[in-house]
């Protein structure tokens, strides 16, 4: 009886830790909105089962899918085999015009910093909304850091 109880508890713990594919919701554009590993796995299942493989997905958070999870039995990840759709994995976008840098797709409270290429800090702050506008003194190349991601920005 004791052995059965231990096996049952082990099975419950294993099931609670496993990643189960979950179909993500769609946004107004008809794209799947993916923010968890379960939704990413579900999106992969949808694309792999599709006849056209042209689905649209938008990643809204960083998701870690790695071999260690597979080795430990936490996931049965089946990567997307054939894909001809759209997958927007950039969580924020940058536009420049007339010495203005527009950063969109931010989450409120996300930290940003604008530096010259020598690493000197020019501007920094926290996003109040989804878009931040920065003005630079002169044209050139700058380093933009949002959260922990860096991009080189050309400003004219």
Specify the residue for token string 């099931």.
15
Q: What is the pLDDT of residues 81-131, one digit of tens each?
A: 887 777 776 567 788 888 999 998 887 888 999 999 999 999 999 999 888
C-alpha 14/C-alpha 130 separation (Å) is 39
User: For the domain with range 93-155, which CATH number is right: 3.10.450.30, 3.90.1300.10, 2.60.40.10, 3.20.20.220?
Assistant: 2.60.40.10
pLDDT of res. 123: 96
Domain positions in the chain are 2-88, 93-155
């Amino acid at each position: 009886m004791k052995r059965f109880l231990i096996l049952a508890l082990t099975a419950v713990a294993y099931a609670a830790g496993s990643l189960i594919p979950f179909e993500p919701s769609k946004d107004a554009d008809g794209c799947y909105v993916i923010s968890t590993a379960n939704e990413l796995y579900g999106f992969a299942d949808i694309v792999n089962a599709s006849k056209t493989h042209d689905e649209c997905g938008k990643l809204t958070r960083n998701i870690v899918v790695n071999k260690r999870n597979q080795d430990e039995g936490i996931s049965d990840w089946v990567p997307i085999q054939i894909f001809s759709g759209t997958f927007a994995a950039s969580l924020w976008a940058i536009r420049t015009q007339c010495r203005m840098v527009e950063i969109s797709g931010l989450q409120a409270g996300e930290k940003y910093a604008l530096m010259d290429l020598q690493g000197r800090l020019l501007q920094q702050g926290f996003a109040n909304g989804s878009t931040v506008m920065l003005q630079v003194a002169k044209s050139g190349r700058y380093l933009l850091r949002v959260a922990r991601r860096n991009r080189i920005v050309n400003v004219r």
